[in-house]
Amino acid sequence: MKQKSILITGGAGFIGSHVVRLLVNKYPDTQFVNLDLLTYAGNLQNIEDVTHKHNYTFVRGDIREADFLQKLFNKYHFDGIIHLAAESHVDRSIENPSAFVETNVIGTVNLLNAAKNLWQNDYKNKLFYHISTDEVYGSLGKTGLFTETTAYDPHSPYSASKAASDHFVRSYHDTYGMPTVISNCSNNYGPNQFPEKLIPLFINNIKHNKPLPVYGDGQYTRDWLYVLDHARAIDIIFDKAKIGETYNVGGFNEYTNIDLIHLLCDLMDEKLLRPKGSSRKLITFVKDRPGHDKRYAIDATKINKELGWKPSVNFEQGLSQTIDWYLKNEVWLNNVTSGDYQKYYNKMYGNR
């Protein structure tokens, strides 16, 4: 019997690298191909430890290139796709929305087409799993939670592009009968996150005694989930989800930005052996992000009841471990912030 072959896109990024590590180690009889363009956010150091596994192949490539994708699909005959590759940062989407349309919308449609062409309407034991965000639901008031039936109401070019890609995935299920699943997750944190997102950016700034730019009044709420808990949810959804369904994934863990930043500052003072209160002095309130969503919070009851998943990492412990990881992995942090690693990868993988 043919060995099962799974494509993971974006597996050199933050969440994707944790998913690759979990699945490659857990399923030694399945072949995994990690397709990643290695943009500024993709980094092979994130998955160094799986590079030599017999059931793992890395391919540098671009989901915006339809012909390339079709060749890749014809070569590996994928049974399943776990699609994480994306432009993922809201602030960058405000600067350059078109890049988000190209990668997140057109890239996703290219993958759907390549899967449809390969599978030719024979969808037995096949699955296209699309990883999305809670940001597609827009912004909550003081109360309430996002459920799987909350209407889409994206406000940033990033969330608009993810919403569009979700709609395309559902349309391939409804129109062509493709077996698809979508999950919408809250804010992730943990090791290997590019230091443009709030938590790693602030850890790095505190370390270097640089100002901590808090947008607006800091009274924005996010629901934080440890990245390994998200990776576990992705594994369970890929294995057990009902075809055509959507699952919300969240931490049941709401923090206002300012409360989170205070906690982070206090933990950093302890770890860096600085006098209590020194990191908080770095907090600087700056101009707000345009279109800034007030509050995100996920109701993860469905995945809990139907698939038995729940978060396992307590936030204070997870945050403490995350800080330890960034302080220990100075070389990683210096590489990604200096940009030198890009030159290295271009040299190593310039020809795909």
As annotated, the active-site residues are 134-135, 158
What character string, x for contact with ligand TYD (CB under 6 A) and - otherwise, covers 219-248?
Answer: -x-x--------------------------
> Which residues touch 174 (CB under 8 Å, ≥6 apart)?
none
CB contact at 8 A, 200 and 41? no
State yes or no: residue 63 binds ligand NAD (CB under 6 A): yes
Interatomic CA distance for residues 269 and 188, integer angstroms: 23
State yes or no: residue 108 binds ligand NAD (CB under 6 A): no
State yes or no: residue 205 binds ligand TYD (CB under 6 A): no
> How distant, in Å, are the alpha carbons of 144, 237, 284 from that of 276?
36, 43, 18
Q: Based on CB atoms, which residue is closest to ligand NAD, 106 or 243?
A: 106
Neighbours of 77 (CB within 10 A): 11
Q: Of residues 59, 66, 201, 272, which one binds ligand TYD by CB under 6 A?
A: 201
Structure tokens of 181? 């699943």
Tokens 């096949």 found at: 126
Angle 107-119/66-76 helices, nearest 10 degrees?
40
State yes or no: residue 133 binds ligand NAD (CB under 6 A): yes
CB contact at 8 A, 128 and 178? yes
10 binds, among ligand NAD, ligand TYD, none (CB under 5 to 8 A by kind): ligand NAD
Q: Of residues 47, 185, 231, 261, which one binds ligand NAD by CB under 6 A?
A: 185
In angstroms, what is the minimal distance from the CB of 352 to ligand NAD?
A: 11
In angstroms, what is the minimal distance from the CB of 197 to ligand NAD?
A: 7
Hey, which bits of the chain come out as E strands?
A: 5-9, 31-36, 56-60, 80-83, 127-133, 180-185, 187-189, 212-215, 221-226, 246-249, 254-256, 283-286
What character string, x for contact with ligand TYD (CB under 6 A) and - otherwise, covers 37-76?
Answer: ----------------------------------------
36 binds, among ligand TYD, ligand NAD, none (CB under 5 to 8 A by kind): ligand NAD
In angstroms, what is the minimal distance from the CB of 109 to ligand TYD?
A: 23
In degrees and rounded to multiples of 5, residue 224 shows phi and psi of -95, 135
Query: Phi-psi category of 133—alpha, beta or left, where left has phi over 0 and alpha has psi -120 to 50?
Result: beta
85 binds, among ligand NAD, ligand TYD, none (CB under 5 to 8 A by kind): ligand NAD
Q: Of residues 27, 215, 325, 349, which one binds ligand TYD by CB under 6 A?
A: 215
Interatomic CA distance for residues 138 and 227, integer angstroms: 22
Q: Based on CB atoms, which residue is closest to ligand TYD, 183 or 187?
A: 187
Establish how many alpha carbons lie within 13 A of residue 203's alpha carbon, considering only the half-sphere containing its beta carbon: 28
59 binds, among ligand TYD, ligand NAD, none (CB under 5 to 8 A by kind): none
Number of residues counted as binding ligand TYD (CB under 6 A): 12
Q: Of residues 187, 248, 279, 322, which one binds ligand NAD by CB under 6 A?
A: 187
Interatomic CA distance for residues 178 and 271, integer angstroms: 50
Which residues contribute to the site for ligand NAD (CB under 6 A)?
Answer: 9-10, 12-16, 36-39, 41-42, 62-64, 84-88, 103, 107, 131, 133, 162, 185, 187-188, 194
Which residues contribute to the site for ligand TYD (CB under 6 A)?
Answer: 90, 187, 197-198, 201, 213-215, 220, 222, 257, 289
